[in-house]
């Protein structure tokens, strides 16, 4: 069953818009992303195992910690006016983990007839090559439509993140382009945003070669105020903007927590406002 489905997914990849040829993609990388795997974090697994699928749900949320934040902390279901919902998104979840959850609970989930599916998926897979991600995204979307054929599906674009919001940025932007291009064929609506708007301008600024070189040597949690790194950083920012900056704003944006990975309460509120406008209008 799986091998047949994988063949279909690769075949579709040849016919659909893509910057990568599926036939040239390492099959091991594709198999790694399309084989359902238990979530990597114990908390996500325990949350899923304790999940009680209701008899009915108007709204289903799939994907990673961003989707989970928007649902839990942003009260997304209530903001959209849904009285019944199911959360399948988990911390650290990638495409293969979302597939696992849908596969494990498929028969129960098929009994639901949700009006809307919201998903943020792929953020935790950007270490894989774009060609494999594209096939995996199609595979995931096919399963979503198999389980809920009549639901309206919304996909959140993958936000920039990490040191200067440049973590795996090439792969991220390639996957976002693919997701945008294939909306009609795969039957979903992309909810996008400006990278600079969500990252407080750091996304474009981080593409300055001097900053990219510095950021590549540091994780978001290891940057300290002082030392050679900050000296070089301030020089790079001075060259880019014409003015020096204070250490306190070197790598932080109000829309994200200090890890530059997860949304802050401010960021959650902004994104939920955007989602509620788009999804409530049925665009």
* Residue 44: closest CA among 86, 101, 1: 101
Predicted pLDDT of residue 24: 84
Alpha carbon distances (Å) from 17 to 5, 14, 48, 169, 247: 19, 8, 34, 20, 43
Q: Please tell me the distance from the alpha carbon of residue 97 to that of residue 91, in angstroms, as a whole number.
A: 10
Q: Please tell me the distance from the alpha carbon of residue 60 to that of residue 117, in angstroms, as a whole number.
A: 5
Tokens of 235: 């020089």
Residue 270 is classified by DSSP as H
Predicted pLDDT of residue 203: 83
- Tell me, rounded to whole angstroms, the distance of Cα 66 from its chain centroid: 7
Backbone angles phi, psi at 219, to 5 degrees: -85, 165
- pLDDT 10s digits, 85-95: 999 999 999 99
Predicted pLDDT of residue 220: 39
Backbone angles phi, psi at 133, to 5 degrees: -65, -40
Q: Please tell me the distance from the alpha carbon of residue 126 to that of residue 28, in angstroms, as a whole number.
A: 16
pLDDT in tens, the chain (283 residues): 445 454 444 444 444 556 555 568 999 999 999 999 999 989 889 999 999 888 899 999 999 999 999 999 999 999 999 999 999 999 999 999 999 999 999 999 999 999 999 999 999 999 999 999 999 999 999 999 999 999 999 999 999 988 778 889 999 999 999 999 999 999 999 999 899 999 988 888 767 666 665 555 544 333 443 334 444 455 555 544 444 443 333 457 899 988 888 999 999 999 999 999 999 876 6
């Amino acid at each position: 069953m799986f091998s047949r489905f994988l063949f279909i997914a690769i075949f579709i990849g040849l016919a659909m818009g893509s910057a990568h040829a599926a036939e040239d993609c390492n099959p091991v990388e594709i198999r790694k992303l399309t084989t359902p795997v238990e979530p990597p974090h114990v908390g996500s697994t325990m949350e899923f195992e304790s999940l009680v699928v209701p008899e009915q749900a108007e709204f289903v949320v799939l994907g990673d910690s961003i989707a989970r934040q928007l649902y839990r902390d942003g009260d997304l279901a209530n903001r959209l006016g849904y009285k019944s919902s199911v959360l399948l998104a988990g911390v650290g979840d990638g495409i293969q983990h979302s597939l696992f959850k849908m596969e494990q609970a498929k028969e129960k989930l098929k009994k639901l007839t949700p009006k809307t599916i919201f998903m943020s998926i792929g953020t935790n897979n950007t270490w894989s090559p774009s060609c494999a991600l594209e096939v995996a995204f199609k595979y995931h979307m096919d399963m979503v439509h198999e389980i809920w054929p009549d639901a309206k599906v919304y996909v959140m674009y993958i936000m920039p993140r990490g040191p200067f919001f440049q973590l795996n940025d090439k792969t991220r932007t390639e996957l976002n382009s693919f997701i945008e291009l294939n909306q009609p064929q795969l039957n979903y609506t992309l909810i996008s945003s400006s990278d600079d708007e969500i990252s407080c301008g750091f996304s474009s600024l981080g593409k300055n070669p001097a900053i990219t070189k510095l950021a590549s040597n540091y994780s978001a949690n290891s940057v300290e105020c002082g030392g050679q790194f900050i000296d070089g950083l301030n020089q790079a920012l001075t060259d880019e903007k014409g003015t020096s900056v204070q250490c306190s704003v070197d790598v932080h944006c109000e829309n994200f927590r200090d890890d530059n990975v997860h949304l802050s309460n401010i960021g959650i509120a902004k994104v939920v406002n955007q989602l509620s406008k788009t999804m409530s209008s049925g665009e």
